[in-house]
Structure 1
Amino acid sequence: MTYVRGSDGTRIHYSKTGRPGAPPVLFIQGLGAGKTGWALQRMATAPWYQAIALDNRGAGRSDKPHTPYTLEQMADDAIAVLDHAGIETAHVVGASMGGAISQILAIKYPERTRSITLACTAGANHPWREELLTEWRDNALEGGMGMMSREAVRWVIGPRSFRRFLPAMGWLGPLALGRPSHAFANQVDAILDVDMSMVDRVEEIDVPVLVLVGNQDILTPRGDSEELADRIPTAELAVISGAAHGFMVEHASTFNRVLIEFLGRAETAWQRRIDESENVALESA
């Protein structure tokens, strides 16, 4: 197993799959989720890309400190993973909380990103969502992850898929029952305490951006994605019909097709950008 230390000494676990030397794609999961939540995407991209998936602090095999977390700190953790893996730039794919982390990463480290995919995420929290996340946190701390998950499950999976995907609930963020309550609560607090001055700078992102949402997502509804796509000059919006918040599992085939098509366009744009920079350098020499 591969680990890297964050700036505060926290161990962050990650793994690499796919073609060595191929264009890298960094996958960042959401609230409570480990890298296994990207299993279907990592398999789908393996023939063309090198996939790097990490466990955010507080999830998976990464450390779960009792001290407070921040989303900016988690973006720094992601950069530490790229550094340790020897990767200078990557396409970044973030879901839910991972999408918020990806926005911060793209703003704070623009030189490290080839493209950004923001799946089932938002640019700001509405009061109703802050109240909901606070309730989940309190339920986790007071009644354990099982109690919290019973409340959260219907916000993540669409009603038509609920029974079919119930055995896979452990893949989908807060539904992972074996994870400690304090780590989940710390991730919730990181979302609630996000530095909005950083997130408000999404207009500065100048690499290709895919904003991806399911039209049945009730946790980060379509309107959140439409607002992000409107604010980011380089963004395109894709809506998957019949999909809810957990659509990377629930509608994996459609999700993967849209993602891989976008990555192909984004990689072509990146290579063109590199070629243009090299031509300018030659002309200036």
Structure 2
Amino acid sequence: MAARSTRHGSGVAAHLAHRHNPHDVGRCPVARPRRGTLTARTPCNHERARCGISPHTFDARCVVATVFVAVGGAHWSAPAAHEGGVVPYINRPGGVRLHAEVTGRSDAPVVLLIQGLGTDKNGWVLQRFGMATRYRTIAFDNRGSGRSTTPTEPFTLEDMADDAAAVLEHFGVSSAHIVGASMGGAISQILAVKHARLVRSLTLVCTACRNKPWRNELLRHWADTANVRGMREWANDSARWLIGPRSFRRLAPALSWLGPFATYRPSKGFTAQVDAIVSTDDSMVAELSSITAPTLVVVGNQDILTPRADSEEIAERIAHAELVVISGAAHGLMVEHASTFNPIVFDFIDRSEFEQRQAASPAIASA
């Protein structure tokens, strides 16, 4: 299927020329929901508390987390509870070592969090606060990110999906609720196709199921920027693509101030991940129909990196998938709109877990 942007000329400029200006709030249209689509809006304070975020600290956390992710995650690491008190590394073929953290109750349903391009496990900071009280949560750094290593040889998204499977197997998890964002969403789709037995439910956030010429061009530009001008310049260039217009205006001074922290992150792992993305063909698209796990697809209506049409295609190809469009949200909706995003995802995981336990134990249904 041809990329929509190519109808008006290829390339990033052509893509943006025929879309609304993402940083002109007054002109930003609210996408009309298709049948079966939920459009979510920002909740009030009591709903923020329900999803594990105090209304008194929400704004501060949101600002810090948004800036943190926008400048590339970094090598900082939030405190976490580790099983056995040991920070685990998982050894993979080719000398790759994956860093993982486990939080929450050991007897709770397992959730595996898979982050996107150039971002480490700390990109889930606003989800892990709420998840710790209700799930056993595993967050890990993809190869090339955070504390995980970058192999000397090129790798693929399929390799990264195998990494995710290896993380679950390392912790003795037979199946988990998978939550993947952006590149992590693409990895999650491959995981659900290749390792279906490990996937209890699937949540795909601000992601796509196929490459498009304009997006590949943009990613190659980002990789060139990181290699030639450094990660700080990449952080500056990419911010407008990753966060919404209101947050961008609020955070512009902080982005400038925190930009130098991104220079501590080497570009090697970032560019290797870009290579993995752009080298992926569309052969997996036809296999999405084989996914039987309950699936939730979430996108912001102001996302210009993986626009709503990408999520609609995924939802149409996976049987019984649910699509939620968050009004006013951009690509970084997990941090910008955590108070809307969290209860949507938590409720979906709870419902999926209950339905599967009910199906496995008829006695529960009759009780």
Query: Normalization by structure 1: what TM-score?
Result: 0.91
Matches within 5 A, 1:193-208: 193-208=279-294
1:73-110 per-position Cα deviation (integer Å, ceiling 9, x unaligned): 11111111111111110000000000000000000000
Q: 1:94 to 1:167 in 2, by over 3 A?
A: farther
Partner residue, 1:112: 198
- Matched residues in 1 for 2:309 and 2:162: separation? 29
1:206-255 per-position Cα deviation (integer Å, ceiling 9, x unaligned): 01000000111000011110111011113100011111000111111111
- Matched residues in 2 for 1:52 and 1:88: separation? 13
Q: Any conservation in 2 of the 1:66–1:182 contact (CA below 8 Å)?
A: no
Shift of residue 176, structure 1, vs aligned partner: 4.4
Structure 1 position 83 matched with structure 2 position 169: yes
Q: Any conservation in 2 of the 1:104–1:199 contact (CA below 8 Å)?
A: no
- Matched residues in 2 for 1:203 and 1:146: separation? 40
Q: Any conservation in 2 of the 1:205–1:234 contact (CA below 8 Å)?
A: no
Matches within 5 A, 1:134-153: 134-153=220-239
- Matched residues in 2 for 1:210 and 1:266: separation? 10
Q: Percent of aligned pairs with the same residue?
A: 57
Which consecutive unaligned segments of at least 5 residues does structure 1 have? 277-285
Q: Any conservation in 2 of the 1:149–1:177 contact (CA below 8 Å)?
A: no
2:339 equivalent among 240, 249, 253: 253
2:121 equivalent among 17, 35, 41: 35
1:192 equivalent among 262, 265, 278: 278
Q: Any conservation in 2 of the 1:59–1:183 contact (CA below 8 Å)?
A: yes
Q: Any conservation in 2 of the 1:14–1:53 contact (CA below 8 Å)?
A: yes
Q: Any conservation in 2 of the 1:33–1:176 contact (CA below 8 Å)?
A: no
Q: 1:201 to 1:176 in 2, by over 3 A?
A: farther
2:357 equivalent among 268, 271, 274: 271
- Matched residues in 2 for 1:199 and 1:147: separation? 33
- Matched residues in 1 for 2:210 and 2:298: separation? 16
Structure 1 segments, 4+ long, off by >4 Å, are 165-170
Partner residue, 1:183: 269
The CA RMSD over aligned residues, in Å, is 1.7
- Matched residues in 2 for 1:65 and 1:169: separation? 30
Partner residue, 1:102: 188
- Matched residues in 2 for 1:166 and 1:246: separation? 15
- Matched residues in 1 for 2:178 and 2:254: separation? 25
Please give the secondary structure, in 1, of the residue aligned with 2:112.
strand
Q: 1:267 to 1:144 in 2, by over 3 A?
A: same
- Matched residues in 2 for 1:167 and 1:274: separation? 53
Shift of residue 162, structure 1, vs aligned partner: 1.2
Q: 1:261 to 1:79 in 2, by over 3 A?
A: same
- Matched residues in 2 for 1:215 and 1:186: separation? 29
Partner residue, 1:281: none
2:143 equivalent among 42, 53, 57: 57
Structure 1 position 71 matched with structure 2 position 164: no
Q: 1:274 to 1:151 in 2, by over 3 A?
A: same
Partner residue, 1:157: 243
Q: 1:141 to 1:110 in 2, by over 3 A?
A: same
Query: Normalization by structure 2: what TM-score?
Result: 0.71
- Matched residues in 2 for 1:165 and 1:82: separation? 36
Q: 1:63 to 1:167 in 2, by over 3 A?
A: farther
Partner residue, 1:133: 219
